[in-house]
Amino acid sequence: MKIFLRTFGCRANHYDTEAVRAMAEAAGHSVVAEVGEADVAVFNSCAVTAQAEAELRKVVRRAARERPTLRSVVMGCAAALDDARPSPLSIRALPGVSHVVAGADLPGMANALGVAEPNAIRTRAQSGARALLRIQDGCDEHCTFCATTLARGANRSRPIDVLVEEAAALSERHSEIVITGIHIGTYGRDAGTSLGALLQRLVRNVPVVRFRLSSIEATEIDDAICELLIGMPDRLAPYVHAPLQSGSDRVLRRMGRHWYTAATYAHAVQELAARMSILGLGADVITGFPGETDADHAATLAMIDRLPFTYLHVFPYSPRPGTAARRLPDPVPEGVAARRAAELRDAGERRAAAHRAARDGGVADVVVVGSSADRQGITGDFLHVAVRGSQHRRGERFQARLRRLGERLVAEPLTAVVSTRQAQ
């Protein structure tokens, strides 16, 4: 059987797709690059925005037109919310769809594909230059704008021993492993441990490889994580993506983000940045949330200007079915939200440009992620850089001097390869 895989959304989704790939290949099936070659297509869906769901529907319909005999399986967050939709709008009503599998139900996916259920070690080698390791699923918070909690359920942590074993297997092929999940800062709360304890085990038991945190709440970075970020940047990348969403406490309360304020968020990132010589600091920001005023927007802009961000992900608010925010009064006109989003993106690009300029002439730990035709690398602080020379292949890691070339940074190798992984 030939299987086509397509992922929408976050890194947690991408990890789940890699687990499906591993299941299929272990059963003797092949994964193909084009839907036109496939017998079965697996679409891993996202429910964060209406646009993501609309794109999923378009892609599934197009695949059915392109290959009428194709059988499609839809998994992920949008699939988990399918029973709440009216029948004509359901994903299972799309042409060619044979199974709708909620969230990351891998046994359900095994059944849909007719393969053996996965063992505890889900992946040993992945298709990306950098590997992903999903450490937990679900979220115990209830942000009023978020459908992910509805789709994924409560926090559920994977056992540390299993994660260490999977990371060790991945480290044989990958120079960087990205720690991902739905709410990774809550890892271990259901098992009497913590994310910091997991990271300490990973760093101790899985040598050489560079780990990287995906999105983590700023106020959930504990002392153990800080010590690794500050003291071992070659093992835990000096990078934090800490969702902000708004710089206005009033809007944060309406969003249901009760565990921090603008002040406690700022204190957490400023304390960390003051102790680190290099820090990549990103954030998600939602604009146009119901009730957001010009003053709220100005507070967010001021916070972005005040904190040492190196990039932003900006999203206009997208109403999602079943979420509490749909019932909030005072919607923001679409045009106003679009204008505010543009202002936030401009502010983010100014911060990104300033960070690139500050890194000119500095040393960086680089993992090659581009192909031979487009050789790029990612630094520890999450700068995308051009890689000079042809000696370093995809997946390899090396120390480099960064040089500015126009608006780009170029990585000039200083050392031999630290490790060879996924070389292509």
Residue 85: the pLDDT is 81
246 and 277 share one domain = yes
Does residue 419 fall inside a structural domain? no
Same domain, 59 and 42: yes
Residue 124 placed within a domain: no
The residue-averaged pLDDT of 62-66 equals 97
Calculate the average pLDDT of the chain: 94
Phi, psi of 418 (to 5 degrees): -70, -45
Residue whose tokens read 């070690």: 121
The CATH code of the domain that includes 15 is 3.40.50.12160
Q: Is 147 helix (H, G, I), strand (E, B) or coil?
A: coil
Same domain, 183 and 106: no
Q: Considering the domain boundaries, does residue 400 fall inside one?
A: yes
140 and 8 co-located in one domain: no
Its pTM stands at 0.95
In the predicted structure, residue 371 carries a pLDDT above the cut 80 = no
**Is 418 inside a domain boundary?**
no
Last residue of one domain, picked from the residues 113, 143, 171: 113
For position 417, what pLDDT does the model report?
54
Q: What is the pLDDT of residue 416?
A: 60
299-302 long-range contacts, CB within 8 A, separation 24+: 299/246, 299/247, 299/248, 299/262, 300/244, 300/246, 300/247, 300/248, 300/344, 301/247, 301/343, 301/344, 301/347, 302/247
Positive/negative CA dihedral, 309, 171, 181, 55? positive
Residues 284 and 382 in one domain: no
Write down which residue in 337, 359, 381 finishes a domain: 359
CA 203 to chain centre: 21
Q: What are phi and psi of 356, to 5 degrees?
A: -60, -45
Q: Are residues 320 and 382 in the same domain?
A: no
Note whether residue 125 is domain-resident: no
Q: Are residues 156 and 168 in the same domain?
A: yes
31-58 mean pLDDT: 96
The answer on pLDDT for 88 being more than 90 is: no
Structure confidence by residue, pLDDT tens digits, 130-188: 999 999 999 999 999 999 999 999 999 999 999 999 999 999 999 999 999 999 999 99
Statement to judge: residues 317 and 385 lie in one domain: no
Q: Is the dihedral of CA 170, 174, 179, 180 positive or negative?
A: negative
Verify that 370 and 335 share a domain, yes or no: no
Residue 415 has pLDDT above 90, yes or no: no
Total domain count, the chain:
3
**What are the structure tokens assigned to 400, written together?**
């480099």
The answer to whether residue 388 scores a pLDDT higher than 90 is no
Residues 12-37: tens digit of each pLDDT: 999 999 999 999 999 999 999 999 99
The rounded percent of the chain whose pLDDT value lies above 70 is: 97
Q: What percent of the chain has pLDDT over 90?
A: 90
User: Averaged over 366-375, what is the pLDDT?
Assistant: 82
Q: Is residue 196 part of a domain?
A: yes
Which residue among 50, 83, 113 closes a domain?
Answer: 113
CA distance 248 to 318: 19
Give the pLDDT of residue 14. 97
Tokens of 56: 């999923």
Q: Please tell me whether residues 240 and 138 are part of one structural domain.
A: yes
Predicted local confidence at residue 118, as pLDDT = 78
φ and ψ at residue 378, rounded to 5 degrees: -120, 125
Q: Which of 175, 110, 182, 244 is nearest to 417 (CA)?
A: 175
State yes or no: pLDDT of 424 exceeds 50. Answer: no
98 domain-assigned: yes
pLDDT score, position 386: 94
pLDDT confidence of 418, banded at 50, 70, 90? Answer: low
In this structure, is residue 120 part of a structural domain? no
Kindly tell me if the per-residue pLDDT of 120 is higher than 80.
no
Which tens digits make up the pLDDT trace of 271-327?
999 999 999 999 999 999 999 999 999 999 999 999 999 999 999 999 999 999 999
The mean per-residue pLDDT over the stretch 237-264 comes to 98
Instruction: Choose among 60, 95, 96: nearest CA to 76.
Output: 60
* Residue range 199-226: mean pLDDT, rounded: 97
Are 93 and 198 in the same domain? Answer: no
166 and 284 in a single domain? The answer is yes
What pLDDT does 423 receive? 45
Give pLDDT, residue 421.
Answer: 54
Instruction: Provide φ and ψ at 359, rounded to 5°.
Output: -90, -5
Question: Is residue 216 predicted with pLDDT exceeding 70?
Answer: yes
Domain hosting 376: range is 363-413
- CATH code where residue 182 lies: 3.80.30.20
| H or E element, residue 333 | none
